[in-house]
Structure 1
Amino acid sequence: MERQFWNTRYSEHDFVYGKAPNQFFKQFIDTHKPGTILLPAEGEGRNSRYAASKGWRVDAFDFSEVATAKALKLTESLRPSINYWTQDIATFKATKRYDAVALIYVHLPQALRQVFHEEVFNALQSGGFLVFEAFAKEQVNMKSGGPKDLSLLYDAPSICSDFPFLHLLSCGQKEIELNEGEFHKGKATVLQLIGQRL
C-alpha cells in the first residue's frame, strides 16, 4: 500500500496494532537465546520493544515516517539496544547478518516479495532463524484484518518456495484469535513459519 495510507493510519490512531508483541513472535523470543535481530516493516515498534527487553539487539525499519517516530518514542528507554530507521522494503539490501529476522504481517506483491525474501535470506547468518507470520489467502473474506487483495495474501507453497535453502522447523496454516489493536481483532487464518539457515 502507499506510504501516505500508512502515515494517515498511524497518525489517526493511538497504537494501531497495540503495544504488546505479536504472540507468535513473543513465543520465539521467549524460547531462544538473545542475539541480533532484524525487524522489517516493524510499524510502531511493539515487537522491537519486546525483543530488546529480553536482551536482543534490534535493527528495525518501516517506510512510514509516522510509524518510525512513534516507534522511537515507544522504545526510547531501551536504546541503544534498538536501532530504528525509515526505509522502503524495495530498497533494502542485506549489508549485515543477523541471528534472526522476523517478518510479522509483511504483505507484498509477488515480484517485490520474492526479491525482498532473497535479501532476507542473505541477512541470516549460518544458524540464524526466520520467524514469519502473515495472513493466508483464506483471510480475504474475514473481518479481522489484512489486505483484501488476494494477490497480497499468502499460501504455504509460495512462501516455502521463496526460501528453498532454509531448513523448515515448523510451517503451517492455522486459525487463531487475534487481539492486536483495532485492526487485528477476531478469528483469522494465518501462516506461521520458523526456518533456520544451516
Structure 2
Amino acid sequence: MKANWNTRYDSKEYQYGTEPNDFFKKTLSKLAVGRLLVPAAGEGRDAIFAAQAAWEVYAFDSSDTAQGKANKLAGERSVNLHYECIEAGSVRFPFESFDAIALIFFHQMPEERRKFHQQCIKWLKPGGKIILEGFHKDQLGRDSGGPKELDMLFNKDELTQDFKGLQIDYVKEKEYVLNEGPLHQGKAFLIDLVATKSII
C-alpha cells in the first residue's frame, strides 16, 4: 500500500491540489482554534491550511513521498506541522488529545475503518469534533476520484453507526463538482458529516 501511494505522489504536481478541501475549510472556520489531527494527510493541503489559521496540527500518512511534499509546502508557507509517516493502524496518541479530527477522503476497508473511527472517538476531547468528507457508495463507476471498491465507499447508515455515541451535528449526501488537483476532478457523489463528543 505504501508503495502504491508513493507512486501516486511521485510528481512535482500536487495530486489533490494545494488548497484545502472546501467542506473542511468551511467547517474548521467555525471552530475555536485548538489541536487538530489530520489522518491520511497526503501532500498536506488541509493540515497546512489549519496551521496557517493557528491550529496546532498533527498529521500522518503512510507515504513518505507525500510527507516530503507536505513539509516542502509547509516551509513555503512558513508553518510547522507535526507530520509522521506511519500506517493508520500503528498510530498512537493519548486519549482526549484533540479538539478536532479531520477525515477528508480517508477510505479504508470496513473492518479497518470501523476500528479507526472508534479510535478517533477516544482521541477526541470532550466537546471535540469529527469533520468528515468522503466518497459515497453512489460514486462507484464515476471517474472523478475515489476507491474502485464498493466496500471502501461510505453511506449515511455506516458512518452514523461508526460514530455512535457522538452527537451527529450534520450529515448530508450530495452531488458536488470537485476541483482538487488532477485526481479529484468533476461531478462526484460525496457524504459530509460533523459529529461532537459529549462534554458529560
Q: TM-score, with normalisation over the residues of structure 2?
A: 0.95
1:19-58 to 2 correspondences below 5 Å:
19-58=18-57
Match of 2:79 in 1: 78
- SS of the residue corresponding to residue 167 of structure 2 reads strand
One-letter identity of the residue aligned with 1:188: A
Question: What percent identity do the matched residue pairs reach?
Answer: 37
One-letter identity of the residue aligned with 1:174: K
Match of 2:130 in 1: 130
Shift of residue 91, structure 1, vs aligned partner: 1.2
Paired with 1:85 and 1:74, the residues of 2 have a C-alpha distance of: 15
Paired with 1:50 and 1:12, the residues of 2 have a C-alpha distance of: 21
- SS of the residue corresponding to residue 140 of structure 2 reads helix
Match of 1:107 in 2: 107
Match of 1:151 in 2: 151
- SS of the residue corresponding to residue 37 of structure 2 reads strand
Shift of residue 93, structure 1, vs aligned partner: 3.0
Shift of residue 13, structure 1, vs aligned partner: 5.0
Paired with 1:155 and 1:93, the residues of 2 have a C-alpha distance of: 27
Given that 1:167 and 1:196 are in contact with CA atoms closer than 8 Å, whether structure 2 keeps it comes out as: yes
Aligned pairs, how many?
A: 195
- SS of the residue corresponding to residue 75 of structure 1 reads helix
Match of 2:175 in 1: 175
Unpaired runs of 5+ residues, structure 1, are: none
Shift of residue 31, structure 1, vs aligned partner: 1.6
Shift of residue 94, structure 1, vs aligned partner: 3.5
- SS of the residue corresponding to residue 82 of structure 2 reads strand
Paired with 1:187 and 1:36, the residues of 2 have a C-alpha distance of: 33
Structure 1 residues 112-140: Cα deviation after superposition (integer angstroms, max 9, x where no partner) = 11111111111100000000000000000
- SS of the residue corresponding to residue 36 of structure 2 reads strand
One-letter identity of the residue aligned with 1:78: V
Paired with 1:13 and 1:55, the residues of 2 have a C-alpha distance of: 27
- SS of the residue corresponding to residue 74 of structure 1 reads helix
Shift of residue 92, structure 1, vs aligned partner: 2.0
Given that 1:93 and 1:119 are in contact with CA atoms closer than 8 Å, whether structure 2 keeps it comes out as: no
Paired with 2:148 and 2:43, the residues of 1 have a C-alpha distance of: 22
Match of 2:162 in 1: 162
- SS of the residue corresponding to residue 18 of structure 1 reads coil
Task: Confirm whether residue 7 of structure 1 aligns to residue 6 of structure 2.
Answer: yes
- SS of the residue corresponding to residue 12 of structure 1 reads coil
Given that 1:62 and 1:88 are in contact with CA atoms closer than 8 Å, whether structure 2 keeps it comes out as: yes
Unpaired runs of 5+ residues, structure 2, are: none
Shift of residue 181, structure 1, vs aligned partner: 0.4
Structure 1 residues 28-70: Cα deviation after superposition (integer angstroms, max 9, x where no partner) = 1222111110000000000011001111110001000100111
Q: TM-score, with normalisation over the residues of structure 1?
A: 0.96
Shift of residue 71, structure 1, vs aligned partner: 0.7
